Amino acid sequence: MALGAEKTLFDARHLRWVDPNGMVALLVAGSVAAKAQGGRPRLGLPESADVIGYLGRMAFFEAAREVFDFEAPGRRSAGSSSDVLLEITRVAANADVHEVVDRVQGKAGAILASKLGYPTTAVVQFSVILSEVCQNIIEHAEAPGWVAAQAYNWARRLGRFVVVISVMDVGRGFRGSLMDQHSARYADRWGDTTALEAAFLHGLTRFPDSGRGQGIQQIRRQVRRWDGAITIRSGTARIGQVPEWDDTPPLVDGLAPLPGSQISIILPARVTP
């Protein structure tokens, strides 16, 4: 809501639950508001001690200080017992990507094996996925972004553990990134949906030489091997690779405009025959 003529207030006081997608989305929304009004918006923190504790464990407040004005929360409950794989981390340079991968590798091996039942070799493929989604920010967004990952027990929805990876940025989005190289061939059909289809389904990139920028295709193949789900939202559209256990529509357009892009990956535990 608007707060006078000076600042915008993001009122999260009644928030009862939030996941990595919600946290990074809040940072993106705050960044957009800050740019529009020329100053940091205000953030009303949740009243729930569990939510505050969880946000603290996910390092949300450290990231939020660069985006919002808010009163520092007191020491409260530790919140959810879910396993944090990667706290919210800002990505703006190649060094950030290397740091993310280095930080995650130790935790990833334990969580992928104990929670998802993946082989020990899976940590390498997981690190590649994480590196590629972060690299997408560096190469295409040309603006900062955030990444976070966590393991959850989806007892009601899926009946097993999952790992959720969320990446968002406030950059140009897929249409802006691919426009110079590919918009002419689509003529008046060029838009957010077409750009996502070009990148996600056909492997087109902003690079003129073949073989570069194939990260999305690598991610799709590995996520499919693990029976996972991946969705990408940019501009007014969202596209996804949806497994049988997920009822998310594979393509949606006409959404509220999203600056930059959002990549969400869900990796489920293996089903033992």
CATH number of the domain to which 210 belongs: 3.30.565.10
pLDDT(56) > 60: yes
What pLDDT score does 60 carry? Answer: 96
Q: Is residue 1 part of a domain?
A: no
Residue 200 lies in a domain: yes
Average pLDDT, the chain: 89
Whether residue 73 is found in the same domain as residue 96: no
Residues 206 and 252 in one domain: yes
Q: Residue 69 carries which DSSP code?
A: B
Residue 2 covered by a domain: no
Confirm whether 238 is domain-assigned: yes
Reading the block at residue 8, the tokens are: 């915008």
pLDDT number for residue 238: 98
Q: Rounded mean pLDDT of 87-91?
A: 95
73 plus 86 within the same structural domain: no
Looking at the structure, do residues 166 and 135 belong to the same domain, yes or no?
Answer: yes
Out of 81, 104, 120, a domain closes at: 81
* Rounded (10°) angle between helices 192-200 and 173-186: 90
Q: Is the pLDDT of residue 78 over 60?
A: no
Residues 6+ apart with CB under 8 A from 39: 6, 7
Burial class (CB in 10 A: 0-12, 13-18, 19+), 70: middle
Cα separations in angstroms, 108 against 164, 172, 210, 216: 12, 31, 32, 21
220 and 121 in a single domain? The answer is: yes
**pLDDT: is 119 or 82 the higher one?**
119
- Identify the domain boundary among 35, 52, 81: 81
Same domain, 63 and 167: no
Specify if 265 maps to a domain. Answer: yes
What is the number of domains present in the chain?
A: 2
Co-location of 37 and 106 in the same domain:
no
Threshold 0.85, pTM exceeds: yes
Q: Is the predicted pLDDT of residue 76 greater than 80, yes or no? A: no
pLDDT of residue 3: 46
How many percent of the chain have pLDDT more than 90? 67
Residue 67 has pLDDT above 90, yes or no: yes
70 and 203 inside one domain = no
Q: What is the model's pLDDT at position 272?
A: 76
Last residue of one domain, picked from the residues 65, 81, 97: 81
Range of lowest pLDDT (6-10, 54-58, 223-227): 6-10
What is the pLDDT, as a whole number, of residue 25?
95
User: Domain residues for 114?
Assistant: 82-273
Does one domain contain both 171 and 122? Answer: yes
Quickly count: other Cβ atoms within 10 Å of residue 121's Cβ: 10
- The more confident residue out of 212 and 88 is 88
Are 43 and 163 in the same domain? no
Q: What is the pLDDT of residue 220?
A: 94
Same domain, residue pair 52 and 111:
no
Q: How far is residue 8 CA from its own chain's centroid?
A: 24
Do 59 and 87 lie in one domain? The reply is: no
- Is pLDDT at 182 greater than 60 in this prediction? yes
Q: What is the mean pLDDT of residues 98-120?
A: 91
Least confident of 22-26, 210-214, 245-249, 253-257: 210-214
Mean per-residue pLDDT for 151-180? Answer: 92
Q: What pLDDT, in 10s, does the model give residues 112-152?
A: 999 999 998 999 999 999 999 998 888 777 778 999 999 99
Structure confidence at residue 5 (pLDDT): 55
